[in-house]
Structure 1
């Protein structure tokens, strides 16, 4: 059970970092229930990423549609360390997105 909860937390971090580093994000007002639904969809569509696979087209599409304010609060130093920023940047680029330099989300800031 502990492995599942850790994997789920790591998946949220992967999704959060992928979403927040993307140049073309959706910005706007979101309700708590909308944010919760967006995080659930990210977990569902991007689950293979946590196990070392590349993002699927469905994952990339979800990343492009998710609001930054829904995921940034979940990016903690501990979770970011478990994930690895460099790996995440490569995954974002695999989705056809560029990664902004010095972009801050939660406890993560992309390299200059």
Structure 2
């Protein structure tokens, strides 16, 4: 049971970190209409699979950077709650975005985080 809780916590941490990276990636506003919960869940799962090494400080792959650019921000920001926000290393997220060739918007609010 404790291992399952740790895995869920790690997975949520990954989703949140990657979500912040998405928000910081410049082309973060993609309004195509409301997505269903199932569509958002699928986008987050693809993103997690593509970018999992980023959590372990491995530079993002080309596929990871591509997923960061296409995942919808509304699927991720709702996951960044006051309880989860302190777990995110914003400076590291910014460095990942820069490695993907993107700029970082200042003072953008995503869930409970505002970029510096």
The TM-score with structure 2 as length reference comes to 0.88
Structure 2 counterpart of 1:55, from 52, 60, 63:
60
Structure 1 residue aligned with 2:32: 28
Q: Which residue of 2 aligns with 1:19?
A: 22
Structure 2 residue 79 is the aligned partner of structure 1 residue 84: no
Q: Which deviates the most, 24-33 or 14-23?
A: 24-33
* Structure 1 residues 3-45: Cα deviation after superposition (integer angstroms, max 9, x where no partner): 3222101100111101111211322222221111101111111
Equivalent residue in structure 1 for 2:102, among 97, 101, 110: 97
Q: What is the TM-score with the length of structure 1 in the denominator?
A: 0.91
Q: 1:43 aligns with which of 38, 45, 48?
A: 48
For 1:51 and 1:80, the matched residues in 2 are separated by: 18
Give the equivalent residue in structure 2 for 1:6. 9
Aligned residues: 111
User: 5+ residue gaps in structure 2?
Assistant: none
- Structure with bigger gyration radius: 2
